[in-house]
Amino acid sequence: MLVKQILYAFQVLELFAERKQPATLSEIAEHFGWPLSSTFNLIETLSKSGLLFEPKYRAGYYPTRRLLDLAKTIVADGPIPDRLRDMVAHVAQVTGETAALAALSGLNAIFLEVVESRSPIRYFTHVGERVPLHATSSGRAILSIIPPKERATLLRKVDYVRFAPDSLMSPEEVEADIQKSIKRGWFLNINGFIPDLLGVAMPLPLADRQLCLLVAGPVFRVGDRLEEMVAALRSEIDRGMADIRAASGEGLK
């Protein structure tokens, strides 16, 4: 269940990101179609929390640096080392396709780092994008490193929506694909989430984090480059894990 007040707060911040200039109460209310009184309460809460200020009296609101400072602290001290982010950028560079680092988020995989292809026809996505576990290579790669009992519990909770012609539509189908992919060493998804999209993912061999590396692109361009994409992922993961182990002295902890 979504907490609407939190969702609305993020929508307001996203509006500022689009506008890049102050907005008045009436402009915010009109943009979202919200009652003026409800908009006032939301903006007043954000202001008293130190997240918004008035550059000029009664001329609108704009975010302070508090959110940026919090975000920098979270990212700098968080569980995603820079080397993992570098891996995403390098896979995107080597393949020319969109690459991402994904983790578990409820019944979805969420992208923690994204580098999009420079091609005008590409897989469009962004940090924070959530994709279904059952219908994507990244989702199934993450599921593969969750203990079997916990994985079975998750799969029973999934809403098996047919996003594309080849979406897997039952816990049994997903588990069979996971077992096949574990033996193969990589996870493939074609037409399972977005029509004519091919994605390849590999889980990262980390002791206390369940993450995967993904590369994806349109079938017409990458359909005959599957081995190349797999090799790029495997090579980057091998190098990245070696660097992380060397930097820590004994591995990522």
Cα 240 from Cα 2, distance rounded (Å):
37
Q: What is the pLDDT of residues 135-188, one digit of tens each?
A: 999 999 999 999 999 999 999 999 999 999 999 999 999 999 999 999 999 999
Has residue 233 got a pLDDT over 90? yes
Q: DSSP letter at 107?
A: T
Global pTM exceeds 0.85: no
Q: How many CB atoms lie within 10 A of CB 147?
A: 8
- Each domain of the chain, given as residue ranges in start order, spans 4-71, 79-248
Fold of 4-71: Arc Repressor Mutant, subunit A (1.10.10)
Instruction: Return the CATH number of the domain spanning residue range 79-248.
Output: 3.30.450.40
Average pLDDT on 117-126 reads: 94
* Residue 221: its H or E element: helix 219-222
Cα end-to-end span (Å), the chain = 33
- Three-state SS across 7-71? HHHHHHHHHHHHHCCCECHHHHHHHHCCCHHHHHHHHHHHHHCCCEECCCCCCCEEECCHHHHHH
Residue written as token pair 């995403």: 88
